[in-house]
Amino acid sequence: MSGTRITLRIDRVVVDQPGLTRGALDSALRAAIEAHLAERGTAAFVGRARATATAQMPRAADALPVRVASAALKAVTS
């Protein structure tokens, strides 16, 4: 992701399950964004601005922060 600057502002993440820390979510978001950029490039983020976006959290064996990051990324890129 060298040379690419992305600003992602998430006002609030609402999760009805305990166990989500800010540090874990930050790390998971960074990893999800890097993977998305590697796969699709910066075009997926160009011109994207929303007041509100929602996405369903995937049901998977991944850790909670990874699933929340996946849903957040889906919300801002779809």
Written as one string, the DSSP assignment of 11-73 is: S----SSS---HHHHHHHHHHHHHHHHHHH-GGGTTT---S----PPP-SSS-HHHHHHHHHH
Q: Is the pLDDT of residue 2 over 60?
A: no
pLDDT at 1: 47
* pTM of this prediction exceeds 0.85: no
Over residues 35-78, the pLDDT tens digits come to 888 888 877 766 666 667 777 777 878 888 898 888 888 887 77
Q: Is the pLDDT of residue 15 over 80?
A: no
Whole-number Å distance between alpha carbons of 12 and 15: 10
Q: What are phi and psi of 4, to 5 degrees?
A: -100, 130
